[in-house]
Amino acid sequence: MRVPRHVAIIMDGNGRWAANRGLPRGAGHRAGLKPVRLCIEECARRGVEALTLFAFSSENWKRPITEVGLLMQLFLEALDREIDELATRGVSLRFIGERDGLPAALAERMRAAEARTAANPGLKLVIAVAYGGRWDIVSAARRLATEVRAGALEPGQIDEARFAAALALDGLPEPDLFIRTGGDRRISNFLLWNLAYTELWFSDLLWPEFDGVELERAFADFASRERRFGLTSEQVGAGAC
Ligand code: FPP
């Protein structure tokens, strides 16, 4: 079975999962840790190279302050609890997003986790925190403009490859498979540039319900798709891709 090199996931539905049970929204976010662990284990086991999880979007800052605080606390606790295990399994961790507004303790733990696992040869786990696809593109444009102003780059040298190298996922293969739980069929300002040719797969399950069976369905569906990247079926059949 063809395995995606890079899987990207929007983990949606925690709040509804909790509301369905008469629980506070935070209980849904906590319950969402179980499928996070499952996806990490399964992707590593199947030989997926990179897994990117959308944990907190640029827009999530507008949620009630109590929920934002709770999520930040949950990320901190989860990182403290899981880092040894992730490091032992050879996972390398990377965080993408705007770090400036994050609590100092969380930003420090993120930096330390990246430094500790940078050389690990296993699954590349990317957590998007305070991330937005538009923020990513604007940041890349700003970076390139700064290089142009410094005389290190000619505007004519900016091509797709150069632009992609200024984005947060630089160095990783583009996501092959995008999964979104929670029933909505949209990208919600996730990896806008990088999802250009990604296969999209949507699940009606709420994120805390996401399990190995549903993940297997997503992988099986991915394996059955013909990826043409703008070419014809005949060209793909002849090995042009
Ligand atoms: C979206 O559900 C989920 C989030 C904003 C938070 C995701 C966080 C986790 C799964 C917890 C741990 C993750 C890591 C990587 C440590 P929602 O609140 O928008 O749900 P709703 O649409 O039902 O309201």
Please report, for the chain, the start and end positions of each structural domain, with discontinuous segments joined by +. 6-237
The verdict on the CB of residue 113 being under 6 Å from ligand 1 is no
Q: State in Å: Cα 101 to ligand 1 middle.
A: 19
Q: Among 17-21, 83-87, 128-132, 233-237, name the one with the lowest average pLDDT.
A: 233-237
Given this model, what pLDDT does residue 35 score? 98
As given in the structure block, the two tokens for residue 49 are 């190279």
Distance CA 177, CA 155 (A): 33
Q: State in Å: Cα 13 to ligand 1 middle.
A: 7
* Shortest-distance Cα residue to atom 1 of ligand 1: 12
Binned at pLDDT 50, 70 and 90, residue 50 comes out as: very high
* Shortest-distance Cα residue to atom 15 of ligand 1: 55
Most ligand 1 atoms within 8 A of CB, residue of 7, 9, 10, 11 to mutate: 11
Q: Hey, CA dihedral for 92, 98, 103, 107, is it positive or negative?
A: positive
* Shortest-distance Cα residue to atom 5 of ligand 1: 56
Q: Per-residue pLDDT for 82 more than 80?
A: yes
Given this model, what pLDDT does residue 1 score? 86
184-199 pLDDT per residue, tens? 999 999 999 999 999 9
Distance CA 241, CA 233 (A): 10
At residue 193, the 3 state secondary structure works out as coil
Q: Report the length, in residues, of the chain.
A: 241
Q: State in Å: Cα 55 to ligand 1 middle.
A: 6
Catalytic residue check, 60: yes
The verdict on the CB of residue 60 being under 6 Å from ligand 1 is yes
β-strand partners of 179: 9, 201
Distance CA 96, CA 162 (A): 19
Distance CA 239, CA 222 (A): 19
143-171 pLDDT per residue, tens? 999 999 999 999 999 999 999 999 999 99
**DSSP label at residue 171:** T
**DSSP label at residue 198:** P
Mean pLDDT of the chain: 97
Q: State in Å: Cα 216 to ligand 1 middle.
A: 21
24-34 pLDDT per residue, tens? 999 999 999 99
Q: Which atom of ligand 1 is nearest to the CA of 33?
A: 12
Catalytic residue check, 12: yes
Given this model, what pLDDT does residue 237 score? 87
Q: Per-residue pLDDT for 135 more than 80?
A: yes
* Shortest-distance Cα residue to atom 8 of ligand 1: 55
Query: Looking at residues 70-88, what average pLDDT do you find?
Result: 97
194-228 pLDDT per residue, tens? 999 999 999 999 999 999 999 999 999 999 998 88
Considering the segment(s) 6-237 as one domain, its CATH architecture is 3-Layer(aba) Sandwich (3.40)
Q: Which helix (H) or strand (E) holds 9?
A: strand 6-10
| Residue 240: partners with Cβ closer than 8 Å, 6 or more residues away | 231
The stretches of the chain forming alpha helices (DSSP H) are 14-20, 25-31, 33-46, 65-88, 104-117, 133-149, 160-165, 212-224, 233-237
Q: Hey, CA dihedral for 145, 147, 153, 154, is it positive or negative?
A: positive
